[in-house]
Amino acid sequence: MNTIKKKDALLKLEDNNYYFLASSSYADDTLRTLNYGDTFAVFDRWGDINPIGKGVQGVYHRGTRFINSMQLRLNDHRPMLLSSNIKFENEILSVDLANPPMDDLAGKSILQGTIHIQRTIFLQDGAIHEEIHLRNYGQETYHLRLHISCEADFKDIFEIRGLQRKQKGQLSPSRAVGSNKIRWSYKGLDDIQRSVELRLSPDPNELNDQSGTYHMTLHAKGSINVHCAANLYAEEEAPREETYMEAYGKIVPWLEKSKSIIAHVHTSNEQFNHWVNRSKNDLLSLLARTSGGVYPYAGVPWYNTIFGRDGIITAMSTLWAAPEISRGVLAFLAENQARHEDPVQDAEPGKILHEMRYGEMASTGEVPFQRYYGTIDATPLFIMLAGRYLQRTDDLPFIRAIWENITAALHWIDNYGDLDGDGFVEYQRKAASGLANQGWKDSHDSISHADGELATGAIALCEVQGYVYEAKCQAAYIAGRLGYDRQKEELLEAAQKLKQRFNDQFWDEKLGCYVLALDGDKAPCRVRSSNAGHCLFTGIATPEKALITAGTLMGKEMFTGWGIRTLAANEARYNPMSYHNGSVWPHDTAIVAAGFARYGMMHETMRLLQGLFEASLFIDLQRMPELFCGFDARQGEGPTSYPVACSPQAWSVAAVFLLLQSCLRLGIEAPEKELRFDGPELPSWVDDIDISNLPVDGQFVGVRICRSEGDMDIDISRKPADWKSLVM
């Protein structure tokens, strides 16, 4: 057990159970989720929020669940559900309900389906708004009672995920305020007072400290509207007094502006179009506006905040289609790069942020994630993204502005990342409260040996060495562009030496792939894992080893038919229902596919695209989740859900864009002013692809790729006059 004390708060943690406690399961895929900036909400299909057990339903803001119950009743009955949908742009939950058989307040019988109730719900940053529209389709007048109840519990998101607290702050009794408001308040152990103010319009006939009730006369063919708004705020902020339409009017401009951030893709396959456009809208809904620009929050519900690794990989996956995201990610992470050593935060000069949290438990130090740097890969990934961004945009002034951050990251790699001086970058957590494993597979049991024994000591992951290799190559490219030729040559030499050492020490001929890691004693973890595929993504693999690795990854032990398992089915710790030991992560599969394409293995790339596309057809809303279970694909069935998977999840919904770029083999080389297609291919179920609003050199370019007599025709429209297109 680990024990963390701060401000007299006490929390006991099982090692690394920060992320995926089964006790916090919300496997019911009928839940409905809205998110907007730092606020998100999880409803049932009726549009209600139910305080069920350890359930996740509620309205959350900046790491705290403010509202844990909000329910609507008509004459004390729960209405019948007709339909429940998230609008395609993710801004509105629209729910259609009808009355069950019941009597009105005067005892008059109302036939089922006579009264229609439409609930329209949307979020602002720090607020939830709802319009309740009742229409009587009957031929008589009815007297009705509409009851709206609400409760607030102000639980930290880590509490909801299963962590126990011995002390909590002070929850004040709720109280009615005036004729139409109810207020709840909580003073946390972080000395911050958080409040909810519920406002009903028009004024209800009855108001108490938890609910408002309307007594309505609903005439034949008549209708009535009721509006409900809840503001979530901290300290002495004044709650907003906006009408439903005023609040929605503030969202519309952002929705319109955000559409230009990501290029639009349309193909001849409507099901594929739906997957691409759902993914685009999901990603747009996760973009937060920061001081550096837009930044993709990692995912709802558990990770609706800044994550370094997740943000970088999301940005890298969408760089060709949405370079603005990459710029925002680079700017924010540069601004928040570690400047000094702090073992509790796992911070060291030059290190790139892992995660930033705003809730009470992060503020008090009960969890270490207020500003936490415990990741081994975000720092080289940051450099990789910077180099790729420069090639994509030629935005040299911006890269020059963060060059000091890049050199600080390089310094961290060489002076802090290599813990034992063997030339490889390793991790070992600095404080007991931190993460034991610090690669992307950060669960406590994700790094093991062939016999299932967990790896210990300073661990060097195979994919991290690949990230470092490409980071040095990209830093060399940037240095050359900035005129630092000597530094460029030194970085290229270091990269090549690393590549040689890596292929000598991480390759295992018997496994047919790179080992997962070297442990603290330099003993190789001889297990087949998806991590090896990342070595193709970065180019550290030699061509012959890349080919052998691809064969292993596409074998029956690793390829499910839908995607690549995180761990092969014949390994000791394999469990298809685990978080990292046999499940399928869409972003991971997309990275492997991009690695295949890098080495020209297009058949394998297409199989992975096909697999994830087929999986999407069975998934609710075609919204690719954080992960799903790693069972073999079964004909006529979809993948098995993982019970606590985030959805939407940024790098999962971004995966389709990386897959598209991989099959098109599209490169946008801004310094050379070239659009390059290096042997593009289309899947068999797509005849043509149109890409519009593709940002290139300050303009929006159109690209059309279509199959023609066994070849590919490519047409570029509206490209800048000094740009050229190359098909190789």
CATH number reported for the structural domain that contains residue 436 in this entry:
1.50.10.10
The pLDDT, as a whole number, for residue 651 is 98
H helices of 352-461, where? Answer: 360-364, 378-393, 396-401, 403-412
Q: Does 23 score more than 50 pLDDT? A: no
CB 537 within 8 A of CB 594: yes
Q: Does 63 score more than 50 pLDDT? A: yes
Copy the structure tokens of residue 720: 């800048």
Residue at 433 is within a domain: yes
- Mean pLDDT over residues 231-256, rounded? 86
Q: Does 21 score more than 70 pLDDT? A: no
**Which residue, 214, 248, 282, sits at the end of a domain?**
248
Residue at 287 is within a domain: no
The pLDDT, as a whole number, for residue 53 is 58
pLDDT in tens, 102-156: 999 999 999 999 999 999 999 998 999 999 999 999 999 999 999 999 999 999 9
Q: Say how far apart CA 635 and CA 141 lie, in whole Å.
A: 53
Q: Does 30 score more than 80 pLDDT? A: no
E strand or H helix that includes residue 19:
none
Residue at 647 is within a domain: no
Q: Does 170 score more than 90 pLDDT? A: yes
Question: How many domains, the chain?
Answer: 2
Pairing verdict, β 724-727 and 127-136: unpaired
This prediction has a pTM of: 0.93
The pLDDT, as a whole number, for residue 294 is 96
CB 522 within 8 A of CB 509: no
**Which residue, 205, 227, 248, sits at the end of a domain?**
248
- Mean pLDDT over residues 263-284, rounded? 96
Residue at 673 is within a domain: no
Query: Cα separations (Å) of 354 from 91, 359, 439, 447?
Result: 28, 16, 10, 19
CA angle 259, 261, 267 (to 5 degrees): 70
Average pLDDT, the chain: 93
Residue at 718 is within a domain: no
Copy the structure tokens of residue 247: 């609040």
Q: Does 24 score more than 60 pLDDT? A: no
Residues 6+ apart with CB under 8 A from 190: 7, 169, 360, 363, 364
Q: Say how far apart CA 434 and CA 16 lie, in whole Å.
A: 8
**Which residue, 197, 216, 248, sits at the end of a domain?**
248
Residue at 667 is within a domain: no
Q: Does 26 score more than 50 pLDDT? A: no
Residue at 142 is within a domain: yes
Residue at 16 is within a domain: yes
Q: Say how far apart CA 266 and CA 663 lie, in whole Å.
A: 15
Residue type, 656: V
Regarding whether 154 and 12 lie in a shared domain, the answer is: yes
pLDDT in tens, 383-403: 999 999 999 999 999 999 999
Is the Cα torsion angle 601, 607, 609, 612 positive or negative in sign? Answer: negative
- Mean pLDDT over residues 250-271, rounded? 90
Ranges 13-22, 406-415, 499-508, 623-632: which has the least confidence: 13-22
Q: How confident is the model at residue 31 (pLDDT cuts 50, 70, 90)?
A: confident
Regarding whether 241 and 390 lie in a shared domain, the answer is: no
CB 689 within 8 A of CB 704: yes
Is the Cα torsion angle 366, 369, 370, 376 positive or negative in sign? Answer: positive
Q: Is 418 helix (H, G, I), strand (E, B) or coil?
A: coil
Q: Is 619 helix (H, G, I), strand (E, B) or coil?
A: coil
The parent domain of residue 169 ranges over 2-248
Q: How confident is the model at residue 10 (pLDDT cuts 50, 70, 90)?
A: very low
CATH number at residue 39: 2.70.98.40
Around 29, how many Cα atoms within 13 Å sit in the side-chain half-sphere?
17
State what percent of residues in the chain have pLDDT above 90: 87
